[in-house]
Amino acid sequence: MMWTKRWRLSVANAANNPDPGRLVLGIESSCDESAAAVVEDGRRVLSSVVASQIKDHAPFGGVVPELASRRHLENLSPVVTSALSQAQLTLDDISGVAVTQGPGLIGALLIGLNLAKALAWSRGLPMVGVSHLEGHLAALGLCQEPPPYPFMALLVSGGHTSIFLVRGPGGQQELGSTVDDAAGEAFDKVAKLYGLGYPGGVIIDRMAAQGDPSVIKLPRPRMHDGTLDFSFSGLKSAVVRFREQNQGQSYRMEDLCAGFQEAVVEVLVKKTLTAAKEQGVRHLALAGGVAANHRLRQAMAQAAGEAGFGVTLPPLELCTDNAAMIAAAGCHHLRAGKRLSLEADAISRLPRGGALPGEPAA
């Protein structure tokens, strides 16, 4: 096909660029955040723009996939334009494009992927697909003081809860993951059950700060099962049973939020610490949207300090979905010579390990 021939010619011309990872345009649209960013040399964020959809999805108590896709169609192109403007650059200055290929909502992913293809094809730029999970880990490299390799990372968000041993850029090995609900998903479902509002994790975090976690005892699922895997479906069910058994009874919602949050945090921190000790790693890190949770940050820092480990807690803007993390991960892949073809598709789910097709699952 003519466009395929033109693409190959453009990429051949782009090969003359000695460093495709010098100025990378990142595009992220895996869920409900339309984001674009420009990152220099995989470390310096020149711009990062995020168009949030929280107000659009709040009336439904969660993300509506079709609505998210429609908003990406409206927002993503202006967001890219804004990111370039903030960086005081044009597409002529960009050396490569990185885009989230998966996992995520398939319709939302396709919006970002197709925009990235159009930009790369029209400008003859090399393009790479990035795993959303790897992006969250790459965000740690954008911190003012990045964690030293190797380190143990707890990646926890609305859709993912995993422990990764990170040996270097792009060199991560998943040691444990959730077998059902992710931690962030459990937060949102409990908040929806009680009509607390959306996003549930933020609201529970705020209410828990005013509660006593010792008042309402809840189970710690898979705490002592001998694995590094997680399960939060049973904890969510325990909250449902508590609600049914205590209808008409007086209890503070703040105490319930604190008790639920403490159960989640205790399991997350204990298993991450166990993984680090088993692997002989002496530095811990948090990544993902739930890494913004105040109690989790406090507990992880405390556990690391007591064990004599170092710890990296990323700034809040690097916890939630953003495109700077995609650009940072993309820089590594571009410099390694990886390329994404125009025929490549979005991938809603990834196999255990979090690697995209064609990448080794360490």
Cα 70–chain centre separation? 21
Share of the chain above pLDDT 90, in %: 80
Cα 22–chain centre separation? 23
Query: What pLDDT, in 10s, does the model give residues 86-98?
Result: 999 999 999 999 9
Structure tokens at 134: 């790897």
The answer on pLDDT for 5 being more than 80 is no
The answer on pLDDT for 327 being more than 50 is yes
User: Which of helix, strand or coil describes residue 115?
Assistant: helix
Tally of domains within the chain: 2
Confidence of residue 18 (pLDDT cuts 50, 70, 90): confident
Residues 7 and 130 in one domain: yes
Structure tokens at 183: 């931690």
Average pLDDT on 303-326 reads 96
Query: Of 298, 292, 203, nearest to 256 (Cα)?
Result: 203
Query: Is 84 among the domain residues?
Result: yes
Give backbone dihedrals phi and psi of 27, rounded to 5 degrees, phi first.
-130, 130
Residues 181 and 112 in one domain: no
Residues 169 and 307 in one domain: yes
Confidence of residue 158 (pLDDT cuts 50, 70, 90): confident
Spell 260-298 as b/e; 16+ CB within 10 A means b.
bbbbbbbbbbebbbbbbeeeebbbbbbbbbbbbbebbbe
Residues 80, 112 contacting (CB under 8 angstroms): no
- Out of 6-20, 131-145, 170-184, 200-214, which region has the weakest mean confidence (pLDDT)? 6-20
Task: Return the top range by mean pLDDT from 11-20, 33-42, 168-177.
Answer: 33-42
Residues 106 and 186 in one domain: no
Residues 40 and 65 in one domain: yes
Residues 66 and 129 in one domain: yes
Residues 129 and 228 in one domain: no
Query: What pLDDT, in 10s, does the model give residues 24-62?
Result: 999 999 999 999 999 999 999 999 999 999 899 988 888
Query: Of 320, 303, 188, 159, nearest to 257 (Cα)?
Result: 188
Residues 199 and 274 in one domain: yes
Residues 127 and 263 in one domain: no
The answer on pLDDT for 7 being more than 80 is no
Query: Is 27 among the domain residues?
Result: yes
Query: What pLDDT, in 10s, does the model give residues 226-277?
Result: 899 999 999 999 999 999 999 888 999 999 999 999 999 999 999 999 999 9
Residues 127 and 166 in one domain: no
Confidence of residue 298 (pLDDT cuts 50, 70, 90): very high
- Domain limits at 327? 2-138+320-335
**Rg of the chain on CA atoms, in Å:** 21
Residues 309 and 169 in one domain: yes
Residues 183 and 237 in one domain: yes
Give the domain CATH number at 87.
3.30.420.40
Query: Is 357 among the domain residues?
Result: no
Entry pTM = 0.90
Query: Is 351 among the domain residues?
Result: no
User: Which of helix, strand or coil describes residue 297?
Assistant: helix
Average pLDDT on 306-323 reads 96
> Whose structure tokens read 């090995």?
173
